[in-house]
Amino acid sequence: MDALLAGLFVISSFGDMALNYCPDACLARAEEEPRIALSYGGVQFQEDFVAREAYARYSFPLRYGPVQPVLGVALAEDGSAWVGAGGAWTAHAPGDWGYVQFSLMPGLHHEGAGPRLGQSLEFRSGIELGVESPGGIRYAISFDHRSNADLSPVNPGLETLQFRVSIPLD
């Protein structure tokens, strides 16, 4: 899982950019719906469940081309924490009833009593699959992987599987 989610983010967001935004304005700034997402679920380390984690993410009210800037913070019951910023790319199902979202966020990891991940810089790449209510509230399952992208000799990685609720702020 090391680079798969990050690769899917890059392929989908840059592919969408090349097909639908370039050559006129590849990274043109546009308004986007701001959101706050709250999620909760399990943390897995080397195939073992190690903790539960609460995660909050803010999606900014703009995007650059197809990518919306996001800011996230996570706290786990073992005292580990992560905070980061990056981008999210979203594709909607026909009729806007469902969606898939890929994200990639570099961030800082605090180990606490949790697993040793090799260094403080950890990249969080994820996928979210969900449905959107007529009022704009999204309900989803999210899966993400955190690792340091082999910037350290120690790079075991960490995964989370969570239930997420995303609320529009407009």
| Secondary structure letter of residue 97 according to DSSP | S
Q: Which residue has the tokens 């955190």?
A: 146
CATH code given to domain 4-23+30-168: 2.40.160.20
For 32, half-sphere exposure in the C-beta direction (CA atoms, 13 angstrom radius) is 23
Residues 40-83: pLDDT tens digits? Answer: 999 999 989 999 999 999 999 999 999 999 999 999 999 999 99
Residues 11-46: pLDDT tens digits? Answer: 888 888 888 888 777 888 999 999 999 999 999 999
Residues 126-167: pLDDT tens digits? Answer: 999 999 998 999 999 999 999 998 888 888 889 999 999 999
Residue type, 133: S
Residue type, 4: L
Residue type, 72: G
Domain ranges of the chain: 4-23+30-168
Two tokens, residue 22: 């370039």
